[in-house]
Amino acid sequence: MSEYRDDRERLQADLLEQYWAQVTADPTAPPPEGLDPHMAELARALAAQHMAPGARPAAAADLRRRLDAQAAELARRRRSWRPAWPGLPALGMGVRLALAVLLAVLAIGVYAVVSRPAPVSALEVLQKAQASAGAPESGGVRSFVLRQTSREWPATPARGGVTEIVIDSRRWYGGPGHWRVVSERVLRGADGAELGRQTSLEVADGTDLWRFDSQANVVTVDALTGHEDSTGSVSAYGQGLAGLQELLAQADRCFDPTVTGRETVAGRAVYRIDLGPNRCPIAGAPEFGGRQVLWVDQETAFILRYERYLPGSDKLAESMEVAEVQYNGVLGGDLFTFTPPAGSQVVDNRPKPAPGPEEYLRQLVEYAAAADFTLLVPRDVPRGLVPRRPRLDPLGENAWQLMLEYVPPAEVDQAPRPIPEALTIVETRATDEAVMLASQGMEPVDVPGADAAWLQRGTLNPDGTGTSSVVIVRHGDALVGLNSMGLTVDELLQVAAALEVVER
C-alpha cells in the first residue's frame, strides 16, 4: 500500500473520515475545521443524495423466517420426479395398423440391443436422487437401516490443527418424521493422532426432534414442525441434506453430469455419475468448485457414495461411502422414541404458551436454583410489554445463560421474530473476562444499585431500520445485557435500575 503524499493528505483523510461519520448521521452537521471545503461539500452532497436506504423491516423479518425454516423451504422447492405419460388420442384403423408395424419394428430394434444396458440420463437419475433424499418413499423405500463413513480433509488445517474429520454414522428411517441417527465424529491431526471424539444421537419421534450431546450431557428438543417434510439428516448422503439439495438443485444449471459407469456399492447396483467441473463455484469458498462424483442406487436413487476433489486436483477434499444398507425391513418402534438420560440438561425449544405471572415467577425461582450466578428480573418494564417464557440455556459445563424477552401483548404467543420494540435481557456469570469483553468500547453510566454499568446508544431511522441500544450492568456475580431498538436509552436505564434478585 502506498504512503500518503504528505502530512496534508493524511490530515485531510482523517478529517474526511470524521466528517463522513457526522454527516451520514446528520446532514446539517458542520464539517470539521481544516477539511477542504470542496471535499466537505462533495461528502455532504453524496451523503444527502446518494446514501443507500436501510432495509425494510418486513423484508428482514421475512428473510429471517426463511433462514429459520430453511429445511422446510428446501423441501418445498423439491420437486418429486415423475415420468410424463402424455395421453393417447383416439386412433383410426389405418393408423392403428401403421402403429402396429412401427411397434413391431421397434420390438426388433429393442431385441437387437437388449444385451446392452439402456442409456441413462444422468440428469434424470440426479432428479430421482433429489426426490429420494428428502422423501425415500419416492424411490419405493418405506424404511431403511444403513451404516456409512464420511471423511473430510480441510483445504487448510482447521482450528486446533485438525487435518481430517471422520464421521461414522448409523441411520434408521421408519417413515416420515421417524428417524434415528447415531454418529461418532473423530478429529485427527497431521500425524494421524486423534485430537477429539464426539458422539451424538438424534431421534425424531413423529412429534419432536431430540438431540443428545453425550459429551456435554445436554439434550435439545425442538418441535418437528419444519423438519417432518424431510428426513432431516438421515438421508444416505450424510450430514447435510440441505447441501445435497443445493447440489442437486444446481445439477442442470451448474454441471454437465455424465453417467460414467455402473458399479456396486454396499452390494447394490449403482450408477457412477461424474458431475464435471462446477460452473457456479461457491462465492467465498472456491475450494468447493472442484470435481464431484456420485454413486446412485439404480433402484432407490439413494446416494451410496460421494467424492469431492480440490479444484484442479485429484486430491480428495471430502468423501462418503455407505458400507451396509437394508431397505424396507421391519424396525422396532422403540428406535424412534427418546427419553432424556437421568442427570442430563434439557433445552426445550418447543413452542409454549406465554406464562401467567405466577408461573413466570415459579419458573425463574426454579432457574435461580440451577444457574451459576444470581438471576435478576426487572420489577417492571415500560410500554406494557409482557414476558415470553424465560429460557435458561446451558453454555457448557456448569455455565448458564438466562434469556428474558418482553414483547407487545399481541406478539407473546406468536413465533419469535424480530420486533423492534421488544426488550431482550441476557444474563450470565460476571467473570472479569466477560465484563471486559462485554463493555469494550461502551460508555460508562450510573445505574442505581449496580456495581458498574455501560451504555451503547443505538439509532432508529425514520424508515424503521437502525441498531439497538444496549445497557450492560454488573450486579454482583451477574452480568446483565439489556437490548432494545424501540425503547429509549432512558427507558432502558430505568429497567436496568429496576432489576431485582430472584430468590433461590
Partner 1 sequence: MLGLFFMRVAAPAPPPVGVSEPDPDLALVAAAQANPRAFGPLFDRYHDTIYRFCFTRLGHRQAAEDATAETFLKAFANLEHFKPGVFLAWLYTIARHAVADAYRKDRPAESWDEHEERAAPPEADGAGREPIDRVALRAALAQLPADQRAVLELQLSGWAGPEIAAAVGKSHAAVKMLRFRAMERLRQLLAEDGGAGGRL
270-309 residues in contact with partner 1 (CB under 8 A) are 282-285, 287-288
* Binders of partner 1 in range 128-157 (CB under 8 A): 154, 156
Sign of the CA dihedral running 204, 210, 215, 217: negative
| Interaction of residue 424 with partner 1, rule CB under 8 A | yes
Q: Beta partners for 483?
A: 424, 470
Query: In which region does residue 188 sit, left (phi positive, over 0), alpha (psi from -120 to 50) or beta (all else)?
Result: beta
Q: In whole angstroms, how close is the CB of 132 to partner 1 at the nearest point?
A: 20
| Interaction of residue 46 with partner 1, rule CB under 8 A | yes
Residue 471 phi, psi dihedral angles, 5° rounding: -120, 130
Residues 6 or more apart whose Cβ sits within 8 Å of residue 299: 139, 140, 268, 269
Extract the C-alpha cell encoding 393.
Answer: 440455556
Residue 362 phi, psi dihedral angles, 5° rounding: -60, -40
| Interaction of residue 14 with partner 1, rule CB under 8 A | yes
Q: In whole angstroms, how close is the CB of 142 to partner 1 at the nearest point?
A: 29
Among 260, 431, 444, 501, binds partner 1 (CB under 8 A): 431
| Interaction of residue 70 with partner 1, rule CB under 8 A | yes
Q: In whole angstroms, how close is the CB of 155 to partner 1 at the nearest point?
A: 8
Q: In whole angstroms, how close is the CB of 241 to partner 1 at the nearest point?
A: 11
| Interaction of residue 496 with partner 1, rule CB under 8 A | no
| Interaction of residue 1 with partner 1, rule CB under 8 A | yes
Q: How far apart are CA 9 and CA 13, in angstroms?
A: 6
* Binders of partner 1 in range 469-488 (CB under 8 A): 470, 472, 479, 481-483
Q: How far apart are CA 350 and CA 352, in angstroms?
A: 6
Candidate ranges 228-236, 296-304, 329-337, 460-468; the one touching partner 1 (CB under 8 A): 460-468
Can you tell me whether residue 287 is helix, strand or coil? helix
Extract the C-alpha cell encoding 496.
Answer: 436496568
Candidate ranges 65-73, 117-125, 325-333, 491-499; the one touching partner 1 (CB under 8 A): 65-73
In the chain, the amino acid numbered 273 is I
Q: In whole angstroms, how close is the CB of 311 to partner 1 at the nearest point?
A: 14
Candidate ranges 54-62, 78-86, 267-275, 335-343; the one touching partner 1 (CB under 8 A): 54-62
Among 7, 33, 38, 112, binds partner 1 (CB under 8 A): 38
Q: In whole angstroms, how close is the CB of 120 to partner 1 at the nearest point?
A: 29
Q: Among 230, 201, 194, 234, which Cα is nearest to 218's?
A: 201
| Interaction of residue 163 with partner 1, rule CB under 8 A | no
| Interaction of residue 108 with partner 1, rule CB under 8 A | no
Among 49, 115, 339, 398, binds partner 1 (CB under 8 A): 49
Q: How far apart are CA 131 and CA 288, in angstroms?
A: 23
* Binders of partner 1 in range 191-220 (CB under 8 A): 220
Nearer to partner 1, 246 or 491 (CB): 246
Q: In whole angstroms, how close is the CB of 426 to partner 1 at the nearest point?
A: 4
In the chain, the amino acid numbered 310 is L
CB 399 within 8 A of CB 350: no
Among 92, 111, 114, 159, binds partner 1 (CB under 8 A): 159
Among 395, 443, 448, 477, binds partner 1 (CB under 8 A): 395
Among 435, 445, 489, 498, binds partner 1 (CB under 8 A): 435
Start-end of H helices in 83-236? 93-113, 122-134
CA 463 to chain centre: 29
CB 74 within 8 A of CB 130: no
Can you tell me whether residue 445 is helix, strand or coil? coil
Q: How far apart are CA 166 and CA 151, in angstroms?
A: 5
Nearer to partner 1, 229 or 246 (CB): 246
In the chain, the amino acid numbered 57 is P
| Interaction of residue 468 with partner 1, rule CB under 8 A | yes
| Interaction of residue 242 with partner 1, rule CB under 8 A | yes
Nearer to partner 1, 209 or 331 (CB): 209
